[in-house]
Structure 1
Amino acid sequence: MRRTPRIRRDSEPRIRPQVVAHRGSSHETPEHTLTAYERALDEGAEALECDVRLTADGHLVCVHDRDLRRTAATPGLVSTMNLAELDELDFASWKSPWAELDDEAPDRDPETGKVLTLRKLLEMVADYDRHVELAIETKHPTRYGGLVERRLVDTLDDFGWDGTGSPARIMSFSLNAMNRMRKLAPELDVVMLVEKAHHWPVLRPLVGDDWIIGPGIKELREHPGLGRHLVKAGREIHVWTVNTADDLEVCLDLGVTAVISDRPAYILELLGG
Structure 2
Amino acid sequence: MRPHVLAHRGASHEHAEHTLGAYLAALEEGADGFECDVRLTADGHLVCVHDRTLRRVASNRGIVSTMDLAELADLDVAAWKHPWADLDDERPERVEEHGKVLTLRTLFEVAADFERTIEIAVETKHPTRFGGLVEKRLGELLAEFGWHRTGSPVRVMSFSNTALHRVERVAPGVRVVQLMREAAYWPMLRRTIGRDWIMGPGIEVLREHPRLAGRIGQAGHEIHVWTVNTEDDVRLCQAAGVTTLISDRPGYVRGLLDDDGGAAR
* Cα separation, 1, equivalents of 2:173 and 2:92: 45
1:56-83 CA-to-partner distances (Å, cap 9, x unmatched) read: 0000000001111111111111000000
Instruction: State whether structure 2 residue 129 is matched by structure 1 residue 143.
Output: yes
2:122 aligned with 1:124, yes or no?
Answer: no
Taking structure 1 as the reference length, the TM-score comes to 0.93
Structure 1 match to 2:8: 22
Shift of 1:225: 2.7
State the distance in 1 between where 2:210 and 2:88 align. 45
The answer on 1:250 being equivalent to 2:236 is yes
SS for the counterpart of 1:224 is coil
How many residues align? The count is: 259
Equivalent in the alignment of 1:62: 48
**Structure 1 position 267, deviation (Å):** 0.6
Q: 1:210 aligns with which of 196, 199, 212?
A: 196
The residue that corresponds to 1:101 in the other structure is 87
Give the CA deviation at 1:184. 1.3
Q: Which residue identity lines up with residue 81 of structure 1 in the other structure?
A: M
Other-structure match for 2:213: 227
Identity %: 61
Q: Alignment partner for residue 113 of structure 1, among 95, 99, 113?
A: 99
AA matched with 1:161? W
Structure 2: distance between partners of 1:152 and 1:186? 12
CA distance in 2 between partners of 1:246 and 1:78 (Å):
36
- The root-mean-square deviation of aligned C-alpha atoms, in Å, is 1.0
SS at match of 1:271: helix
Matched, 1:87 2:73: yes
CA distance in 1: counterparts of 2:98 and 2:239, whole angstroms: 38
Q: d(CA) in 2 for partners of 1:140 and 1:38?
A: 27
Query: How far 1:151 moved relative to its partner?
Result: 0.1
Q: Residue 167 of structure 1: which of 142, 153, 162 is its match? A: 153
Can you list the C-alpha shifts for 1:191-224, whole angstroms capped at 9, x where unaligned? 0001111111121111111100000110100122
Distance 1:260 1:32 in 2: 14
Deviation at residue 101 of structure 1 after TM alignment: 2.6
Distance 2:162 2:6 in 1: 25
1:46 is aligned to 32
